[in-house]
């Protein structure tokens, strides 16, 4: 998949995309259709008849696991954990981008006074938002002035004027670090904001990769081929060759404009009114013919943001636990409902006393977990981290509240609505060890089926229930615990509720 148009074609082929031809208003109506569609686990939507505009708007691209699988080139039946496992595997290496000389993203160029961001059908998402947000399914490309490291990060961009975009680079994010480096040199920071490209690049923009690593390189590794980039018109930043809309500009590190508020992924606003923040002064826009504007709703779970973070943040946590050389990690699942960061479930094959406790304390000490992770649940290897009914079973019958660890102080995020607005710097944490203690000599005695009788019954299944199809005839995968392999998601859905 090279660009958004290929995604649209493939998604349409798979019944994963619906064209909306009825007239729709960009002002609240479009976002509300998208949000209500997402709450029904609906398809990606391509709005072809947006009020006041001739070009289309795409939404709801990443809101289901099936479409994330499509983006990653994986089978549609993959579970989120299957995708994470593959993400962890493929991003062990990088394939750097390649430069090309001509590209579709240059089909149209606006410069200087011709720059007009209002030429694009930018939605107004929620009524209490501070305005229209040009950048939601966006990524911002910047370069470190000292090392030349190029970063790609998804940061919202508010439409403040025909050539002004408000930013919110949260402290410590890579664009924020780079802006500080430009400030030290008393120089403006060149930026490029991209809307609509290979959707994998949006996932990469939202991924929390280490500083000095290239998101383009990791995207190439996942694709198994380098990402094609071309130089921007007014600076030397790389732009994906087949991007739909490319906004070029500069951020003056000494200037601010009021930005926000915006309906955050926590489902709450993170403050009242607008806040002074750095902004992008746009000096050039290039775009494809009939550019496809891609947007996302954010707001309450589950949206693109939650699915994206569940995949990318969860994968990073998994990778960091492996990098800490903790043995026995079977699966990691950071539910989309917790935006892939506030809640983590980790399945471990315990090998020594205290192993599960180590996993819990390690998780909150990773780079990923140390920022925002509030609750960790550790389960034994017979339970898949994503198998929530079995996790709840472990919480009921293996977990002992006196074995939970409560940590009083850790780094928080200003977005966490469980803390008062004026005290969001520090969070507490909870580690719930829902495993059977390794050192117990007398472990609980599991109720198991007789394996021989089980086999015999399964062999007679067709005779007993002739109306059922063959695939339904294998209700349990057969390890005696009702434990289902994640490669059998369809069977697992039905079977896991029988416990
Ligand atoms: C739709 C969406 C909007 C986001 N908006 C912001 C934002 O405005 N500011 C921010 O700091 N992070 C935002 N994030 C989270 C960042 O994309 C994420 O932390 C990413 O790691 C940043 O890239 P970096 O690690 O290269 O700094 C957003 C993520 C998504 C998916
Ligand atoms: Mn980065």
Q: How many C-beta neighbours within 10 Å does residue 385 have?
A: 28
283: Cβ below 6 Å to ligand 1?
Answer: no
Nearest ligand to residue 155 Cα: 1
Assess whether the C-beta atom of 55 lies below 6 angstroms from ligand 1: no
Instruction: Please name the residues in contact with 93: beta carbons below 8 A apart, sequence gap of 6 or more.
Output: 221
Phi, psi of 94 (to 5 degrees): -135, 150
Question: Does the beta carbon of 305 lie inside 6 Å of ligand 1?
Answer: yes
Which has more pLDDT, 468 or 155? 155
If one residue of 130, 173, 303 were mutated to test the ligand 1 pocket, choosing by the most ligand atoms within 8 A of its CB, it would be 173
Q: What is the pLDDT of residues 405-421, one digit of tens each?
A: 999 999 999 899 999 99
Q: Would you place residue 469 in the very low, low, confident or very high pLDDT band (cuts 50, 70, 90)?
A: low
Tell me how far the alpha carbon of residue 179 lies from the centroid of ligand 2, in angstroms. Answer: 13
429 lines ligand 1 (CB under 6 A): no
Q: What do you get for the CA distance between the two ends of the chain, in Å?
A: 41
Q: How far is the CA of 155 from the centre of ligand 2 (A)?
A: 11
- Ligand 1: atom nearest CA of 137 is 1
Rounded CA separation 457/464 (Å): 9
In this predicted structure, the answer to whether residue 149 has a pLDDT above a threshold of 80 is yes
* Averaged pLDDT, 235-242: 98
Q: What is the mean pLDDT of residues 205-221?
A: 95
Q: 405-411 and 98-99: which strand pairing? A: unpaired
**Closest ligand 1 atom to Cα of 308:** 31
Question: Whose CA is closest to atom 23 on ligand 1?
Answer: 153
Q: Is it the case that residue 16 has pLDDT exceeding 60? A: yes
- Give the number of the ligand closest to the Cα of residue 170: 1
Q: How many angstroms separate the alpha carbon of residue 475 from the centre of ligand 1?
A: 42
Partner residues linked to 124 by β-bridges:
27
Tell me the pLDDT tens digit for each residue of 69-82: 999 999 999 999 99
Query: Counting atoms of ligand 1 from 1, which one is nearest the CA of 136?
Result: 1
Backbone angles phi, psi at 237, to 5 degrees: -75, 145
312 alpha carbon, closest ligand: 1
How high is the pLDDT of residue 116?
98
Ligand 1 centroid from CA 418, angstroms: 20
Ligand nearest to the CA of 140: 1
Confidence of residue 444 (pLDDT cuts 50, 70, 90): very high
Residue closest by Cα to atom 4 of ligand 1: 155
Kindly report whether the peptide bond that precedes residue 91 is cis, defined as omega within 30 degrees of 0.
Answer: no
pLDDT of residue 272: 85
Residues 281-335 have pLDDT tens digits of: 999 999 999 999 999 999 999 999 999 999 999 999 999 999 999 999 999 999 9
Q: Give the ligand 1 atom nearest the CA of 154.
A: 17
The answer, yes or no, to whether any atom of ligand 1 lies below 6 A from the CB of 303, is: no
Which atom of ligand 1 is least distant from the CA of 202?
A: 31
pLDDT above 80 for 479: no
Distance (Å) of CA 214 to CA 55, 93, 148, 237, 452: 32, 11, 11, 13, 54
Query: pLDDT per residue over 273-282, tens digit each?
Result: 999 999 999 9
206 lines ligand 1 (CB under 6 A): yes
Contact 495, 486 (CB under 8 A): no
Q: What is the mean pLDDT of residues 357-366?
A: 98
Q: Is the pLDDT of residue 480 over 90?
A: no
Among all bound ligands, the one having the nearest atom to the CA of 177 is 1
Task: For a ligand 1 pocket test, name from 142, 179, 206 the mutation site with the most ligand atoms within 8 angstroms of its C-beta.
Answer: 206
Query: What is the model's pLDDT at position 281?
Result: 98
For the chain, the average pLDDT equals 93
pLDDT band at 154 (very low <50, low <70, confident <90, very high): very high
**Position in ligand 1 atom list of the atom nearest CA 176:** 27
Taking residues 463-483, what's their average pLDDT? 58
Residue having the nearest C-alpha atom to atom 6 of ligand 1: 155
CA neighbours within 13 Å on the CB side: how many for 263?
Answer: 22
Q: How confident is the model at residue 495 (pLDDT cuts 50, 70, 90)?
A: very low
Domains of the chain: 79-288 (2.30.110.10), 324-433 (3.40.1670.10), 451-498 (no CATH)
Sign of CA dihedral 308, 314, 318, 324: positive
Q: What is the pLDDT of residues 383-392, one digit of tens each?
A: 999 999 999 9
The ligand that comes nearest to the alpha carbon of residue 213 is: 2
Residue 282 C-beta-side C-alpha neighbours within 13 Å: 31
* CA 339 – CA 308 distance, rounded (Å): 8
Residue 475 confidence (pLDDT):
47
Q: How far is the CA of 169 from the centre of ligand 1 (A)?
A: 8
How many angstroms separate the Cα of 364 from the Cα of each of 23, 63, 338, 373, 377? 48, 27, 15, 6, 11
Protein residue whose Cα sits closest to atom 31 of ligand 1? 305
For the CA of 270, the nearest ligand: 1
State whether the beta carbon of 136 lies less than 6 angstroms from ligand 1. Answer: yes
Q: Which two tokens stand for residue 472?
A: 């339904």
For ligand 1, whether the C-beta of 151 sits within 6 Å is yes
Tell me if 466 sits within 8 A of 369, measured CB to CB.
Answer: no
Distance (Å, whole) CA 347 – CA 333: 9
| Per-residue pLDDT band at 470 (split at 50, 70, 90) | low
Distance 204 CA to ligand 2 centre (A): 8
Distance set, CA 379 to CA 242, 376, 442 (Å): 44, 10, 19
305 CA distance to ligand 1 middle (Å): 9
Contact, 97 vs 224, CB < 8 A?
A: no
The atom number, within ligand 1, closest to the CA of 312 reads 21
The SS3 of residue 78 is coil
Residue 490 confidence class, pLDDT cut points 50, 70, 90? very low
Confidence of residue 486 (pLDDT cuts 50, 70, 90): very low
């Amino acid at each position: 998949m090279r660009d958004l148009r290929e995604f649209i074609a493939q998604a349409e082929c798979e019944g994963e995309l619906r064209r909306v031809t009825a007239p729709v208003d960009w002002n609240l109506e479009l976002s509300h259709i998208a949000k209500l569609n997402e709450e029904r686990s609906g398809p990606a939507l391509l709005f072809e008849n947006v009020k006041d505009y001739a070009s289309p708007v795409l939404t709801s691209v990443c809101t289901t696991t099936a479409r994330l699988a499509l983006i990653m080139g994986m089978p549609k039946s993959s579970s989120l954990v299957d995708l994470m496992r593959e993400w962890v595997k493929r991003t062990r290496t990088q394939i750097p981008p390649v430069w090309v000389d001509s590209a579709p993203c240059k089909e149209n160029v606006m410069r200087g006074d011709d720059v007009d961001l209002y030429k694009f059908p930018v939605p107004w998402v929620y009524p209490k938002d501070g305005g229209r947000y040009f950048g939601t399914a966006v990524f911002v490309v910047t370069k470190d002035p000292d090392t030349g490291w190029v970063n790609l990060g998804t940061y919202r961009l508010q439409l403040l004027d025909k050539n002004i975009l408000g930013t919110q680079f949260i402290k410590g994010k890579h664009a924020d670090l780079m802006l500080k480096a430009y400030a030290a040199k008393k120089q403006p920071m060149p930026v490029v904001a991209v809307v609509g490209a290979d959707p994998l690049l949006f996932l990469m923009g939202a991924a929390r990769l280490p500083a000095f690593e290239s998101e383009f390189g990791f995207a190439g590794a996942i694709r198994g081929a380098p990402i094609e980039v071309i130089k921007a018109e007014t600076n030397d930043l790389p732009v994906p060759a087949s991007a739909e809309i490319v906004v070029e500009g500069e951020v003056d590190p000494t200037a601010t404009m009021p930005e926000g508020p915006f309906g955050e992924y926590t489902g709450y606003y993170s403050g009242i009114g607008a806040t002074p923040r750095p902004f992008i002064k746009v000096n050039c826009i290039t775009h494809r013919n009939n550019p496809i504007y891609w947007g996302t709703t954010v707001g309450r779970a589950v949206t693109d943001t939650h699915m994206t973070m569940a995949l990318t943040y969860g994968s990073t946590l998994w990778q960091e636990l492996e990098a800490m050389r903790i043995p026995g990690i079977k699966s990691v699942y950071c539910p989309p409902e917790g935006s892939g960061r506030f809640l983590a479930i980790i399945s471990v094959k315990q090998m020594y006393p205290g192993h599960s406790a180590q996993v819990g304390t390690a998780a909150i000490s990773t780079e990923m977990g140390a920022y925002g992770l509030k609750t960790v649940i550790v389960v034994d290897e017979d339970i898949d981290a994503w198998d929530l009914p079995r996790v709840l079973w472990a919480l009921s019958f293996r977990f002992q509240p006196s074995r939970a660890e409560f940590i009083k102080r850790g780094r928080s995020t200003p977005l966490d609505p469980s803390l008062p607005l004026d005290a969001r710097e520090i969070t507490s944490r909870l580690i719930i060890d829902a495993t059977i203690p390794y050192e117990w000599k007398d472990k609980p005695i599991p109720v198991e089926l007789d394996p021989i009788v089980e086999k015999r019954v399964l062999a007679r299944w067709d005779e007993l229930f002739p109306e059922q199809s063959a695939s339904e005839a294998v209700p349990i995968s057969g390890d005696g615990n009702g434990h289902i392999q994640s490669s059998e998601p369809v069977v697992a859905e039905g079977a896991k509720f029988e416990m």
